[in-house]
Homo-oligomer: A and B are copies of this chain.
Amino acid sequence: MRPRIQAGFELDTQLEADTCPVLWLTLCEVRLMNDRRWPWLILIPQRANIEELHDLTPLDQAMLTFETNLVAAALKQATACHKINSGALGNVVHQLHFHIVARNEGDTNWPGPVWGFGEREPYRKEDRHQLIAKLKDAISSQTI
């Protein structure tokens, strides 16, 4: 699938620095948080100047729902995790982005949230490449 980027959209530099590209869906760019404590994907709707979910158009809201649910199902399948945590916060990075995180009992900060906890622990490069390949396959094989 090809990206369909709205004029004026540019990925936030902090998001870009903390994450690695996985693939592009119709509305969103999907990126992996470079933090090996949890398998953690971020969907960024390619829309300029949007900070809240409810500021998207109704069609974009519906697209985002389909894309987040597709990615969540794929992440759960690929990691065999116990629970998906998802959310949109945006207290630090203002550009609208939606988190989808694979959680397991006993993981770092369980059952607390992943946001704002401790320091990011980057993947080793080969582990990251392997996980991204696995996630790409899992997302691409989902149907909606």
When C-beta atoms are compared, the residue in chain B nearest to A52 turns out to be: B84
Task: Quote the shortest CB–CB distance from A30 to chain B (angstroms).
Answer: 15
Give the number of times this chain occurs in the complex, counting copies: 2
Q: Is the interface of A mostly helix, strand, loop or mixed?
A: mixed
Can you list 21 A-B contacts (CB < 8 A)? A52-B84, A53-B84, A54-B72, A58-B66, A61-B65, A61-B66, A62-B62, A62-B65, A64-B65, A83-B89, A83-B91, A85-B91, A86-B89, A87-B88, A87-B89, A87-B99, A91-B103, A91-B111, A92-B111, A112-B115, A113-B115
Considering only residues 65-116 of chain A, those with a C-beta below 8 Å from chain B are: 65-66, 68-70, 72-73, 76, 83-92, 99, 103, 109-113, 115-116
The answer to whether B52 touches A76, judged by C-beta atoms less than 8 angstroms apart, is yes
